[in-house]
Amino acid sequence: MSAQDVHGRVPEPSTPPQARILVVDDEHISRDNLALALARQGHDTVTASGGTEALGLLRESDFDMVLTDLMMEGMDGLALLREVKSRHPDVEVVVITGYPTVDTAVEAMRAGAYDYLAKPYRIDEARLLVHKALEKRRLKLEVARLREQLRERTLPVPMLGAAPCMVELKRTIAQVAPSDVTVLILGETGTGKEVAARMVHLFSRRSEARFLAINCGAFNEELLESELFGHEQGAFSGATRQKKGLFEAAEGGTLFLDEVGEMSLAMQVKLLRAVQERCIRRVGGTADIPVDVRLVAATNKDLKTEVETGRFRQDLYFRLNVLVLNMPPLVQRREDLPLLARYFAEKASRETERPAPGISDEVMEILGRYAFPGNVRELQNVIERAVVFCNGDEIRPAHLSPELREVSMHVSRAGDRQPMTLEECEREQIRWTLEHAADNRTLAAKLLGIDRASLWRKIKRHGL
C-alpha cells in the first residue's frame, strides 16, 4: 500500500500541505496519538469519538480529510464514510482497520475511500498516506477551478451589475439553478437572457455537460423540427444521412430555447410532447428516444397575452412557466452603466489589440440620459463603435454615434444627479454581491464573473 526504501522505512513526504483533518475513533489513545502526530506536521486536527459526533462536526465546520476507524460502536466507519462522501464529496476519507481483508478494502473503495490503513501501522506510514490523499484533493480542486474558469469564459458577457434588481436576480439564479426544473426567462431584447441561461447551467449539477442554444425565431417550422429533434436518412429531400437533434446532443446538459414565443402552434405541440414525455422522435423516424435535458426557455413576448389571443398553447405555457426569471431593462439599472461601459471598452480594446481608453464624464452623462431601447446589447455596440473611432486615451462625445450625439445637445451643463464613478459602482456591486451571497466569496466570485483571487484583491482595494 505504501512505498518503502531499501531499509523498509517509509520515506517522509516533502513539506505536506497544511490541512484540517478530522480523526474519528472510539479508542481515545489511538485517536489522540494519530491526531498529535499529524498536528506536529502542521495540520489542524480535530477528534471525534464516533460517527454521529463526526457528522455534527462536519456540519459545523469545513474539513479537508477524515481518518476513521472501521469498527466503532453505533455508526461504524463504512457508514460514516458513505455519509461523508454523500454530504461532502470533496473531503478525502481514509479508513483504519484492524481486520484488513480484500472484501473490506473493496467495499471501502467502492464507497469512495481514498485508501485504508491496516493496524498496527507506523506513524510515518500514516503521514505519507495523509500526504498523498491531500495531494489528490488539491489536484482535484485545481482541476475544478480550471474548469470553472473555462466555463466562465463561455459567458458572452458576465452578468455584471450592482443595481438591487440585478443582485436579486443573481441571488435567485444561484438558488434555483441546482434544481432540475424548467426555467422561463422573460425580458426585452438585449437584456442578457442567454447570459442568465448560461448562469443557470453553470450553477447546476449539469454544468459538466453541454449547454446548447437555439433561436427559435431564426428557423421555419420544418427546419426547427429537424434542428431540435433530428432526422432519419431519407426523411426529406436532402436528408442524405441520419442527424441527431439538439435534444439528443445536449444529453445530460441544458438546452436553451431562445425566443420560444416565435414557435408555430404545430411546433409547440411537438415541443410539449418532448417536455411531458421526456422523449423525442426524429423527423421521419418511428422510435421514441428518451432524453435527459434541462430546458431553459426565453422570450421577449408577454406569453400570458399570447395565450389569451390563441398564439401560444396554454398547456405548453404552464409546462415552461415553472420558475420565472425577469430580466430588467437597462433603464431600470442605470447605476450599472459605468461598470458595463468600462467592461465593454476593455473587451473591445483587447479584441482590437489597443490600449483601453477612459470614458469622459460627458459621455457618461449622455449614456445616463439615453433610453437604450436595445438594452445592454445596444450599449455594447455603442462602446465598441466608440473604441474604434477613439484615437486618444478617452472616449468623448465625438466618438459616439449620431443618435447619441443628438442626445448630447440636450444635456444641460448643470445636470441633475452625477452618475456614480466606476470605482463607486464596482465597490457597491461587490458589497451587494457579498451580502446576498452570505459572505460566501466563492459564490460571490461566480456571480460577479471573476475568479476568487481577483475578488480578494478588489475587496482589499475597496476596504470591504
* CA neighbor of 22 nearest in space, from 57, 74, 70, 60: 57
Tell me yes or no: is domain 422-462 CATH 3.10.290: no
Q: Is the peptide bond before 120 cis (omega within 30 degrees of 0)?
A: yes
pLDDT in tens, 18-72: 789 999 999 989 999 999 999 998 899 999 999 999 999 998 888 999 999 988 9
Residue 366 has pLDDT above 60, yes or no: yes
Q: What kind of fold does domain 164-328 have according to CATH?
A: Rossmann fold (3.40.50)
| Contact by Cβ (8 Å): 8, 15 | no
So what's the architecture of 331-415 in CATH?
A: Orthogonal Bundle (1.10)
pLDDT in tens, 247-276: 999 999 999 999 999 999 999 999 999 999
Residues of CATH 3.40.50.2300 domain(s) within the chain? 20-149
φ, ψ at 65 (rounded to 5°): -155, 150
pLDDT in tens, 125-146: 999 999 989 988 887 776 666 5
pLDDT in tens, 393-414: 899 988 988 767 665 554 433 3
Biggest CA-to-CA distance, the chain: 88
C-alpha cell of residue 168: 436579486
β pairing state of 211-215 and 254-258: parallel
**Cα atoms found within 13 Å of the Cα of residue 74, Cβ hemisphere only:** 11
* CA neighbor of 367 nearest in space, from 395, 398, 407, 328: 407
Contacts of 334 (CB under 8 A, 6+ apart): 163, 368, 419
DSSP-assigned letters across all residues of 164-222: HHHHHHHHHHHHHTTS---EEEE--TTS-HHHHHHHHHHTSTTTTS-EEEEEGGGS-HH
Q: Distance between alpha carbon 81 and the CA centroid of its chain, in Å?
A: 28
Whole-angstrom distance, CA of residue 41 vs CA of residue 16? 7
Range of weakest confidence among 22-26, 310-314, 419-423: 419-423
Residues of CATH 1.10.8.60 domain(s) within the chain? 331-415
Whole-angstrom distance, CA of residue 456 vs CA of residue 434? 11
pLDDT in tens, 167-210: 899 889 988 999 889 999 999 989 999 999 999 998 898 988 99
Instruction: Give the angle 49-127-111 at the CA atoms, nearest 5°.
Output: 60
Residues of CATH 3.40.50.300 domain(s) within the chain? 164-328
Tell me yes or no: is domain 20-149 CATH 3.30.360.10: no
Whole-angstrom distance, CA of residue 67 vs CA of residue 94? 5
Residues of CATH 1.10.10 domain(s) within the chain? 422-462
Contacts of 93 (CB under 8 A, 6+ apart): 65, 66, 67, 68, 81, 84, 85, 112, 113, 114
Percent of the chain with pLDDT over 70: 84
The DSSP 8-state label assigned to residue 262 in this structure reads G
